[in-house]
Amino acid sequence: MTHSLTRRAALGLLAAPALVHATGAAAQGANWSPDRPVRIIVPFPPGGGLDLVGRVLAESISPSLGQPVVVENRAGAAGALGIEQVFRAAPDGHTLGITSAGNVTIGPLLRRTPYDALALTHVSRLTTSPLMLVARKDLPAADLDAFIAWARAKPEQVRFGSGGIGSSTHLSLELLNIRMGVTTLHVPYRGTTPLLTDLAAGNVDVGFSDAAGWPMVEQGTLRLLAVSTEEAWPRSPATPTLHSRLGDFRVSNWYGLVAPPNLPAPILARLEAETARALALPRVREAYEASGFTAAPMPRARFQPFLEGEIALWKGVIEAAKIEREG
């Protein structure tokens, strides 16, 4: 309930009209414009983080593109169904999609996908948010330093929950184990919601959560120990980062804008420019921040190497943790 209210509030921030200013980058790609409505495929049901990010973007780029930009939710196969539709669409700028690590940099390493993730045209990163390392409220380790000391002294006692085998929360747990030099007890759940419920009940000790767990931290039901990003989280700037204590721990829950393979350069240039312009608008940044996301545009020239680095990181974690590939 809290998440849906936050989502409506965030989208409400877009209601006020805004002036559209063309940038130099937009002018470079101005020789292409869509000639019919553009669709953005979100590969999960309405109401989640990907859906929010996609709808905010759609409402923001539609006026300057001069065509309606419509969000279509195509859920199924852990997001693979929707991304496959983008992959097989004509590369004409009229079919886009919203991606995440689950269907680009982690999912294809663990299961067969009906698309080549790196062959897609990754137009721009859109947002980032940290994973939160949260603990049951009565955990004897009161802060991050105490937790690391406890985990290193008695790793077999640490019950570490995740949202499921192969999920980003599971792989982040395995990366944390590697950085701490320990092996904790992994307790997989079918999603983050039941994990948070059991954390609050004290049935597991710690776990990673996305921003959906923040209300439980605010209510005192869970204790926030750290965040997974290299930089501090604006919503809780005093919370330490895992990177600051363990080094080389840079994990973000990112979302991106994707198009079919072989997108022509003029179309890519226009979409990159419009995305950058939209993410610079205060009302867009506020809409994302209201749900725990940070607008973090990254054009294709930097986004593609970023994705390749993510794949290399998670491939190493999967091999070190001996996580088996499905199929």
258 and 233 in a common domain: no
CA atoms in the 13 A half-sphere facing the CB of 134? 31
Indicate if 150 and 211 belong to the same structural domain: yes
> pTM for this one?
0.84
Structure tokens given for 58: 């759609």
| 136 three-class SS | strand
Domain termination residue (choose one: 204, 222, 251): 251
List the chain pLDDT tens, one digit each, 327 residues: 333 334 555 555 554 444 333 344 444 445 799 999 999 999 988 888 889 999 999 999 999 999 999 999 998 888 899 999 999 999 999 999 999 998 999 999 999 999 999 999 999 999 999 999 999 999 999 999 999 999 999 999 999 999 988 899 999 999 999 999 999 999 999 888 899 999 999 999 999 998 889 999 999 999 999 999 999 998 999 999 999 999 999 999 999 999 999 999 999 999 999 999 999 999 999 999 988 899 999 999 999 999 999 999 999 999 999 998 886
Structural domain total, the chain: 2
CATH number at residue 160: 3.40.190.10
Instruction: Flag whether 176 is in a domain.
Output: yes
- Structural domain span for residue 57: 2-129+254-317
Q: Can you give the length of the chain in residues?
A: 327
CATH number at residue 286: 3.40.190.150
One domain for residues 47 and 137: no
Domain end point (choices 229, 251, 273): 251
Evaluate whether residue 203 is within a structural domain.
yes
Residue 85 located in a structural domain: yes
What gap in Å lies between CA 294 and CA 282, rounded to an integer? 12
100 shares a domain with 179: no
What six digits make up the tokens of 158?
């640490």
What does the buried/exposed string (b/e) look like for 220-230 if buried means 16 or more CB atoms within 10 Å of the residue's CB?
Answer: ebbbbbbbbbe
